[in-house]
Amino acid sequence: MRPIIEVKNVKKTYFNDEVETHALRGVSFDVKQGEFVAIMGPSGSGKSTLLHILGFLDHPTKGKYRLDGKSIDQFDEPELAWVRNQKIGFVFQMFNLLNRTTVIDNVKLPLAYAGIKNGEQDELAKIALEKVGLSHRLDHTPSQLSGGEQQRVAIARALINEPSVIFADEPTGNLDTKSGNQIMDIFSRLHDEGHTIVLITHEPYIARFAQRIINIKDGLIASNKTNHKPIKKPISRR
Ligand SMILES: Nc1ncnc2c1ncn2[C@@H]1O[C@H](COP(=O)(O)OP(=O)(O)O)[C@@H](O)[C@H]1O
Ligand SMILES: [Mg+2]
């Protein structure tokens, strides 16, 4: 079967005020359907740049990238918005929720865009929130929740349209170890259910949950190795 993610010699250069930054200098790898991959590397190594390209939020400067066999330049802007809505689930370090909007309405947002009827939106949002253990928080606003709970809302929102791939950029970066473990528990479960996950982290204990770990340094892949013993459950829960 064709890999869901195909990256071939991708380069990204930012041009700002006559300064060129070579954020990615020729990166190649594949991700198969159903794989759970962690991307590691020091700050500034190009991880977020790479994830933006993988999530069709940005164009490569050079090289080829295909998601599900499709390249970003096959779509115009409205089509791209639709592809992002339907195929891609994004989870960010800072949660990126609407702070004055209830939990359930935050999770429903991608469905409203997809033109799904209001009654059905409620039903689907409740199912997604149940999956992340937040059925008792539907009418709270994000500011009334802990960081870990807010990230669970963001995961429910990312899942709501049943995307082909879930991309997460340091999803535990703002959380304590215990909440981080709970988030990784959820990602592990989603992986068991067949979801494809690409997750950025610079914490080895988080990367250990993945089946494969890609290390990036200075915009290049330093290593790309199978993790023979991915952990299914957090290590220190006592
Ligand atoms: N929009 C941008 N304009 C200019 N330079 C950028 C931009 N985004 C990132 N960079 C630079 O590209 C490099 C890689 O950044 P990034 O992908 O955010 O790294 P990481 O996520 O690994 O910390 C850094 O040197 C960063 O300063
Ligand atoms: Mg980053």
pLDDT tens digits in sequence order for the chain, 238 residues long? 899 999 999 999 999 999 999 999 999 999 999 999 999 999 999 999 999 999 999 999 999 999 999 999 999 999 999 999 999 999 999 999 999 999 999 999 999 888 899 999 999 999 999 999 999 999 999 999 999 999 999 999 999 999 999 999 999 999 999 999 999 999 999 999 999 999 999 899 999 999 999 999 999 999 999 999 898 776 554 3
Q: Please tell me the total number of residues recorded for the chain in this structure.
A: 238
Domain assignment of residue 78, yes or no: no
Ligand nearest to the CA of 170: 2
Q: How much distance in Å is there from the Cα of 49 to the middle of ligand 1?
A: 6
Domain with residue 93: its CATH number is 3.40.50.300
Domain assignment of residue 112, yes or no: yes
Q: How much distance in Å is there from the Cα of 107 to the middle of ligand 1?
A: 29
Nearest to 150 by CA among 175, 126, 127: 175
Domain assignment of residue 139, yes or no: yes
pLDDT reported for residue 236: 52
Domain assignment of residue 127, yes or no: yes
pLDDT reported for residue 235: 53
DSSP letter at 61 equals S
Domain assignment of residue 18, yes or no: no
pLDDT reported for residue 232: 78
Domain assignment of residue 184, yes or no: yes
pLDDT reported for residue 237: 44
User: Per the structure, how many domains does the chain have?
Assistant: 1
Domain assignment of residue 148, yes or no: yes
pTM: 0.94
Range of the domain at 190: 35-58+87-226
Q: Which residues contact 132 (CB under 8 A, 6 or more apart)?
A: 152, 153, 155, 156, 186
pLDDT reported for residue 199: 98
The residue whose C-alpha atom lies closest to atom 26 belonging to ligand 1 is 44
CB of 12 sitting under 6 A from ligand 1: no
pLDDT reported for residue 212: 97
CB of 201 sitting under 6 A from ligand 1: no
For residues 142 and 103, the answer to whether their CB atoms sit within 8 Å is: yes
Quote the strand ranges of 32-179, DSSP E: 36-40, 62-67, 88-92, 165-169
